[in-house]
Structure 1
Amino acid sequence: MNSMRRLAFFAPLAATLAAAAMAQAQAPTVNVTVGPELQRQVEKLGDREVNEQIAGLQAEVGKALEQRYPGATANLILVDLKPNRPTMEQVRQTPGLDPINSISIGGAAIKGEIVTADGQTLPVQYSYFSPNIADVWGYSVWRDADRAFERFGNQIERGRF
């Protein structure tokens, strides 16, 4: 009788561990490198700020890949990245910049490829920048770049690439 109780306990545990292992095996990988033109701007924008944007891009694309292409790998190049407001590093380097009232057209450009779990390679390219200064809204430094990443993720989820 005691062995039946143990079996009843271990069967759900084994099923849970198998499901977790399966999910782990299908987790997407998102590799992001910085393009050469943007690399020259990193010092002006700030390493920390650019790394946070890379992490945001990885999160959006990872979420989209889970939905559309489980187990896929995305190899992306962050080609361009523009803030809507000055970054901390820009304010530090240029004292005349106003971190609240200085605004500009922001956004991001991304290109690369998605390699599906079955080995198919899908080229991807996406960019979004505010069309003009009047279209800049919100108070976030990276609002339009975040919007570009969200829209890129939506395009992946819809299978547009």
Structure 2
Amino acid sequence: MRRFAFIAPLALAAVLAAPAMAQQVTVTVGGDLTDKVEELGQRDVDRQIERLQSVVERRLARENALQGATVNLVLTDLKPNRPTWQQAADKPGLSIIDSISIGGATIEGEIVTADGQTLPVRYSRYSSSLADVQGYTTWQDADRAYDRLAGNLVSGRLVSR
């Protein structure tokens, strides 16, 4: 009996610690962005793909949302708040520090739920004016778009704008 008293809590802990069916998040480039990759720079676009995937995966995992789902996202437009390294190299007059612009991102795609239902996703967020640009990073507004998309996915607001 004493052995069972010791083993039972361990078994319960193992069950509780077992990961739930995780969601799979993939991000690709599409739409107008395919024509802008060379202008923005492949390295920057690749990093934004990784960033979007990471933000969505972490938020869904943290909130235990869309368990067992496959989230297929397509980054269709991407605008930096400051020139990328590639843009600065192509146009020496641009300042990576002093030049700012309206930034943001458009993301489309679909969610295939664990039960096979397909739900469309579309989210777009851009600063409306230079006065709205906050922060000092190249991809500040794109990061906001990723965070808000992830929040919408967690809360069940799959289609926005």
For the 8 Å contact 2:41–2:84, the answer to whether it is kept is yes
The residue number in structure 2 matching 1:35 is 30
- 2:103 alignment counterpart: 106
1:49 maps to what in 2?
Answer: 44
1:62 maps to a residue whose letter is: E
Q: Superposition RMSD on alpha carbons, in Å?
A: 2.3
Per-residue deviation, residues 6-55 of structure 1 (Å, max 9, x unmatched): xx68x838963x666x41x6121111110142011111111111111111
- Identity of counterpart residues, as a percentage? 52
Q: Is 2:103–2:140's contact at 8 Å kept on the other side of the alignment?
A: yes
The one-letter amino acid paired with 1:124 is V
Question: Structure 1 segments of 4 or more deviating over 4 A?
Answer: none
After TM superposition, the structure 1 = structure 2 runs for residues 68-87 of structure 1, keeping only pairs within 5 Å, are 68-87=65-84
Residue of structure 2 in register with 1:140 after alignment:
137
Q: Shift of residue 64 of structure 1?
A: 3.3
**Separation in 1 of the partners of 2:54 and 2:113?**
18
What is the TM-score with the length of structure 2 in the denominator? 0.85
Unaligned 5+ runs, structure 1: none
Question: Shift of the alpha carbon at 1:153?
Answer: 0.5
Letter matched to residue 116 of structure 2 = G
Q: Report which of the two has the higher share of helix.
A: 1
